[in-house]
Amino acid sequence: MKVFISVDMEGISGLVRWPDVSSSGIDFPLNRSLMTADANAAIEGSFEAGATEVIVEENHGVEDLCVLKMDEIDTRCEVIRGAGRPGSTTMAGLTESVDVVMLIGHHGRAGSFPGIMAHTISYGAFKLVTLAGQPIGEPDFFARRAAELGVPVGMVSGDQVVAAQVGEICPGVETAIVKQAYANQSGRCIPPGRARVLIRESAKRTVERTRAGEFQPIHSQGPYEFVVSLRKPAGDAMRSNLASLDHFELIEDSTVGIVAQDMDLGFRRVAYLGYADRAGVTKY
Ligand SMILES: [Zn+2]
């Protein structure tokens, strides 16, 4: 039983505002420990229920995807971290051999209110990301990429907003709701010590239910058509970069259309728009 855990930071227990998840924030070192502890709770629950392998993949973009504390993480897992991974940055370790995906510390999609630190890939650059006209968040990318590989998503932890959104995409998914969002940077939190019990129990049930065949990959098939609404109109550098690339179309000043055959490419192409405003940067 192989478990893939994607760990993000915005949905970690006790954290509610942007300085909580940025290296300039006063509590960032402590919050890295809280993130590691939520991940450990999921790892522990997985092994308790009989997982034989747990891969943790860091999904939080601040500091080049190196936020977990390596001296505090459960020694039974392996951690994929750092930027420049092969394939889409946050799903490089997701392969056909994985039995179930868990999304720990995830957050609601861009445009959600409430929704603690809700965004899709880039809070600073993207106002909204849609797929076939429907707003999507990071869990949509994961669930669809996993589906392409024949793997189901079995669990999410975070606020009630991301739990509901993942529940829509993956009916019956296990949810560990560690905070109730009041707005985009406030909420009512279960103290992390208690939240971890929820996460551990939820992870345990996820592995048991996976073994019982209760989760199925969702249906997902390319080609996919995305529209990204940028917060700022594309500048000269982005315009010239996009003009030189296939699969991208500047529809309006701050609206870009993207086409991709699969979700690995889809994620990479959408994420590229977050840094496409630099002259000559056309790699994604
Ligand atoms: Zn994040």
Domain assignments of the chain as residue spans, ordered by start: 2-118+138-211, 224-272
Cis peptide before 135 (omega within 30 of 0): no
pLDDT exceeds 90 at position 13: yes
**Average pLDDT value for the chain:** 97
Distance 85 CA to ligand 1 centre (A): 17
> How remote is the CA of residue 148 from the centroid of ligand 1, in Å?
23
Q: What is the pLDDT of residue 87?
A: 84
Distance (angstroms) between ligand 1 centre and the Cα of 213 equals 30
Q: How far is the CA of 220 from the centre of ligand 1 (A)?
A: 24
Instruction: State yes or no: pLDDT of 90 exceeds 90.
Output: no
Phi, psi of 184 (to 5 degrees): -90, -15
State in Å: Cα 31 to ligand 1 middle: 13
The per-residue pLDDT for 89 is 83
- HEC readout, 237-261: HHHHHHHCCCCEEEEECCEEEEEEC
**Ligand 1 centre from 267 Cα, in Å?**
15
Q: For 156-173, what is each residue's pLDDT tens digit?
A: 999 999 999 999 999 999
Global pTM value: 0.97
Confidence of residue 57 (pLDDT cuts 50, 70, 90): very high
Confidence grade of residue 108 (pLDDT, cut at 50, 70, 90): very high
What pLDDT does 249 receive?
98
pLDDT band at 270 (very low <50, low <70, confident <90, very high): very high
What is the arithmetic mean of pLDDT over 247-253?
Answer: 97
* Domain made up of 2-118+138-211: CATH architecture: 3-Layer(aba) Sandwich (3.40)
